[in-house]
Structure 1
């Protein structure tokens, strides 16, 4: 007999024997629909029990470990997941207080995840402070509450600082396109180290009342003199217009000569001549007749 044929026959016999030794599952070994329901309920109860056990204390408010605007309320050991309004994050300063705050006031570096934003006009999120959409606009920003915005403009010489949410000097804000040179269109002249340490001052070529202070001789900051005065570059101080020839007419049409004189030489205040009454103060009472 052919050896190859014999090998094939022996292999088939072995395969049939192996199949015959396998046991078919009985009905008692099969998982019924009822069994599945019971298993699901048991898992659900176990998860609920696990959630209850996650409360660090029976009562209080606790921050989520990874998401800054998510937190949990524990009441009698029962835990409830909660979410701050869009744009706000949970302030975990005290477990006794449920407080959502602005991200500017909270360190979220250890739990940086946030909910999906719900943007509105000029508002990247429903709540918070947001820079102007145009990166070239440095001194304007928006304060948003429930998706409604309020446009705010910084005082002259300051720009919006996204890190602090307030207006600061351009060199402190460190915003692209909003450096001191970009905002003021002024660059500090090169000076020696000795002069740089004195923070030299330079007149604003377009406004006699203002001047630039070059911090460490490099970073310009715009300052101004009080009303009625101008900057005297020769002395490096604020002075009266009559002492600065190029600015002697600066307040013409704004202040009269008399007003400038009063600002430079204010008159002493006259003491009040009104006599103070020594009579005690009484409260007038209104008589209301009783109804008959």
Structure 2
């Protein structure tokens, strides 16, 4: 660009600089390139031997992709770059419905790679339950006429990510029933804040942050990055919602509820360590002689208290059951002369 003095500003206040009017091809490969500093915009430049030979603008509703070096529609542009193409990163292999309301369109993820959009033949539309094209009367709402299964059973009131993995959709649950399915006016649904948000603030595959659910079974899990005071719900490899425990409690993965740290096993709590211990009962001397705890599958289960109606008032570490004080004394000292 410095070679063309005719296009330079010559000490005039109304001159638009050369780099604004003309795209530079310095250090650019031959062919089409994005306009410098205007990536993912409609503008592009054609270069030859680091010289600008053509400047162009994409057709309406298209932008120039530096990945394909061509004008692309929003459906061809990855979401993280401002487009509408879904991401398969940290998404399980499978077939998924279109995220922007096209009921006859679906896409396939394989090996975390987006393999393309596909269209059902009319009059069929995509059925996200079966993963196949189907008649509208067999396809669930909002695309078809079939009523959705009760996906809100045992869920607290609130908003949840769509069960079929549509990042732009979310469900509302009320009193254990599905109150409706909605689509974000812009952006994607954030299961952590439980509102629509920018993808840069959302976990994968809907956003850019790491997905803790991709390899987990369905269920609730403590968020150990937040000292277990938070927990999240996983369904089909997606985080559908995140919750926070009441003050002074942490999430207990064993009991599946918020609990006191003393009742919660490590790493979230300070309950006794059960690793390498046989299944069974052990004395909880830190709580008193009447208490014991249970280990199962190398995991702390819970504290328990001996009662008169259930064997005795104290726990015998030798017999590993509840008994009465005199018998405990005999067990410990192996003779009646002390007891």
**TM-score between both structures, scaled by the size of structure 2:** 0.28
Higher strand residue share? 2
Higher helix residue share? 1
